[in-house]
């Protein structure tokens, strides 16, 4: 069984690593916040001292980090993955970063004989815990087939989209659709509440029709309780939308709705709500309409 290294043990990374441990893989973990490693080490993982150390002890290295600069530092920087990795090591970056950054890092990895996949995920903390994430993969098909079973320990849907960078293109598409779904839900439910109609009953009435969605089912019950504990923080969705906007502009693709929801999230960040779950987008509409959508 392959020896796996896991770098980045935040809200998503820790439960993903836990699922690999439960599956019986030999795991070495590392995070710059040392106490994030404690529970995994108690569960049987080895503690790495750096990204380089993790790579030296692993056949496959997984990174799950906030954004492109963090992945570059962990992989290409001093004491990074490429300093410790052997030729033939597989690097799976499961972070959500810019597609161009994935391609640049993969090219540097290739020079060292390391093959890289980009494999961002969707589903948030609940699905990370359950091991039912949707995983979108870019990179060589033969490498994907080699690690597919490992990825399947963390996700219920594992799909190779194309070459390196295409996993993150799929993730950007995912994040646009999620953000716009939450914004649409928010507009609709604030309208219903302002009109004097019970938003919980509206939710039940429409969820089985064409307006129903996984986003609606996941976020509306939390909004009705005023529960905006992340999940997936607004500040992280801002990061993803910035990558989506940059990529779209580089390609000459107009994304007016994405630009609007980005400004809504920026307004919430300015109001001190950056650490709220992205379902907290509804608060922007509540404030404008002077009404709260609650049970």
Q: String of b and e for 97-120 (b: at least 16 CB within 10 Å)?
A: bbbebbbbbbeebeeeebbbbbbb
Of the candidates 120, 116, 73, 58, which has an alpha carbon nearest to the alpha carbon of residue 92?
Answer: 116
Tokens of 137: 């993969």
Pull the structure tokens for residue 261: 């929801």
> Token pair of 61, please?
């290295």
In 16-141, at which residue ranges do the beta strands (DSSP E only) sit?
A: 26-30, 46-47, 60-63, 90-93, 115-118, 121-122, 133-138
Query: Under a CB-based contact definition with an 8 Å cutoff, are residues 203 and 188 in contact?
Result: no
**Active-site position among 127, 171, 239, 273:** 171
DSSP state of 28: E
Q: In the annotation, is 171 catalytic?
A: yes
Q: Is the dihedral of CA 225, 226, 232, 237 positive or negative?
A: positive
- 203/119 Cα distance (integer angstroms): 33
Contact (Cβ atoms closer than 8 angstroms) between residue 45 and residue 58? no
Give how far Cα 290 sits from Cα of 54, 86, 189, 200, 268, Å: 52, 59, 13, 18, 16
Per the listing, tokens 């997936």 go with 232
Cis omega (within 30 of 0) on the bond before 231?
yes
Taking phi first (over 0 means left), then psi (-120 to 50 degrees means alpha), and beta for anything else, what does residue 138 get? beta
Other Cβ atoms closer than 10 A to 255: 17
Which are the catalytic amino acids?
A: 171
């Amino acid at each position: 069984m392959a020896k796996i290294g896991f770098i980045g043990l935040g809200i998503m990374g820790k439960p993903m690593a836990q699922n690999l441990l439960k599956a019986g893989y030999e795991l070495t973990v590392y995070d710059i916040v040392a106490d994030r490693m404690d529970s995994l080490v108690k569960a049987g993982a080895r503690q790495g001292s750096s990204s380089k150390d993790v790579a030296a002890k692993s056949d496959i290295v997984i990174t799950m980090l906030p954004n492109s600069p963090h992945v570059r530092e962990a992989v290409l920087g001093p004491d990074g993955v490429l300093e410790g990795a052997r030729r033939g090591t597989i690097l799976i970056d499961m972070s959500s970063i810019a597609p161009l950054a994935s391609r640049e890092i993969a090219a540097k990895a290739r020079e060292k004989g390391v093959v890289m996949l980009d494999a961002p995920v969707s589903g948030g903390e609940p699905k990370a815990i359950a091991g039912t994430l949707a995983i979108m993969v870019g990179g060589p098909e033969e490498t994907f087939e080699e690690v597919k079973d490992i990825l399947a320990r963390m996700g219920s849907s594992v799909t190779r989209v194309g070459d390196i960078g295409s996993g993150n293109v799929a993730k950007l598409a995912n994040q646009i659709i999620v953000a716009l779904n939450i914004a649409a839900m928010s507009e609709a439910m604030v309208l219903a509440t302002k009109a004097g109609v019970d938003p919980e009953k509206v939710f039940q009435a429409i969820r089985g029709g064409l307006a129903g969605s996984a986003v609606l089912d996941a976020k509306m019950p939390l909004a009705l309780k005023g529960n905006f504990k992340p999940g997936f923080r607004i500040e992280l969705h801002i990061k993803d939308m910035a990558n989506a906007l940059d990529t779209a502009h580089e390609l000459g693709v107009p994304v007016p709705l994405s630009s609007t929801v980005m400004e809504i999230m920026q307004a919430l960040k300015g109001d001190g709500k950056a650490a709220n779950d992205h379902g907290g987008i509804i608060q922007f509409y509540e404030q404008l309409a002077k009404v709260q959508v609650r049970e």
